[in-house]
Structure 1
């Protein structure tokens, strides 16, 4: 079964966050993390066990980008081939389905927000949800420091 994200939904306005986190238990010193949250328009996933319409978001996490100034996001491509420690997922079919970010371009726009365009490969097969598929999108994201 194919979920069909490309034909069923699109990305709404998202958020780019930066926040400091530390965890002494696992030996993680205070580190600057970045998260991009891209909510999706509600859609019918086609899965009987999912509440319809499906409400979800793509969540992409990076750390140690060294970007304490949000203006440094301008012009970046945050693909997983470059930032191999990054993580991403989308919750569909009662599972966090891993996303491989093939491309994620960030450009600062006139109003101070960021235009984000990307291509991700969603690994639905790993969780037995459906066939894995690509999803290409564009969105505007607000920057928030937490």
Structure 2
């Protein structure tokens, strides 16, 4: 079964957050990470075991970018090939489905927010939800420092 996510929903305005995290048990010093949250417009997944409409978001996390200020996001491509320690998922079909970020371009716009465009392979097959799908999008994101 194919969800056909591209035809059913679109990304609404998202958020880019920075946050500090440390874990002494694994030797991780206090490090600044970035998380991109991309809410999806409600949609019908077509899965009879899931409450409809589905309300979910794509979460791309653990980006260790080494930035000192938000403006340095301008021009970055946060693909997983460039940032292999980053992770992503979307909760559909009662499962967290891994997202392989093929392209995630960030450009600062004139209002101080960021235009974000991307292409993500959603791996539905790993959780038995459906066939893997490519999902492309364009949206804007607000930057929030936490």
| Match in the other structure for 2:47 | 47
Deviations 1:26-52 (A, max 9, x none): 322101110000000000001111110
Query: Structure 1: which 5+ runs fail to align?
Result: none
Q: Distance in 2 between matches of 1:64 and 1:121?
A: 21
Paired residues for 1:1-146 under 5 Å? 1-146=1-146
Q: TM-score, structure 1 length as denominator?
A: 0.97
Q: Distance in 2 between matches of 1:63 and 1:93?
A: 26
Deviations 1:101-135 (A, max 9, x none): 00000000000000000000000000000000000
Q: TM-score, structure 2 length as denominator?
A: 0.97
- The runs of at least 4 consecutive aligned structure 1 residues that moved more than 6 Å come to none
SS of 2:82's equivalent in the other structure is coil
Q: Distance in 2 between matches of 1:61 and 1:121?
A: 16
The count of aligned residue pairs is 146
Using the TM superposition, give the Cα deviation of residue 67 of structure 1 relative to its aligned residue in structure 2, in angstroms: 1.1
SS of 1:78's equivalent in the other structure is coil
Q: Distance in 1 between matches of 2:90 and 2:121?
A: 11
Query: Structure 2: which 5+ runs fail to align?
Result: none
